[in-house]
Amino acid sequence: MKKTILLLAVLWSLLPAQSLDGKKVFETYCWGCHHQSAVAFGPSFTQIASKRTFEEIEAYILDPKAMYKAFGHQRSVMPKLDLNDNERACIARYILSFKKDH
Binding site for ligand HEC (CB under 6 A): 29-30, 33-34, 41-43, 48, 51-52, 57, 60-61, 64, 68, 71, 73, 75-79, 81, 83, 91
Least distance between ligand HEC and beta carbon 76 (Å) = 5
Burial track 55-93 (b if 16+ CB lie within 10 A, e otherwise): eebbbbbeebeebbeeeeeeeeebeeeebeeebbbbbbe
Least distance between ligand HEC and beta carbon 28 (Å) = 8
Least distance between ligand HEC and beta carbon 40 (Å) = 8
Nearer to ligand HEC (CB atom), residue 7 or residue 27: 27
CB 41 within 8 Å of CB 31: no
Other CB atoms within a 10 A radius of the CB of residue 24 amount to 15
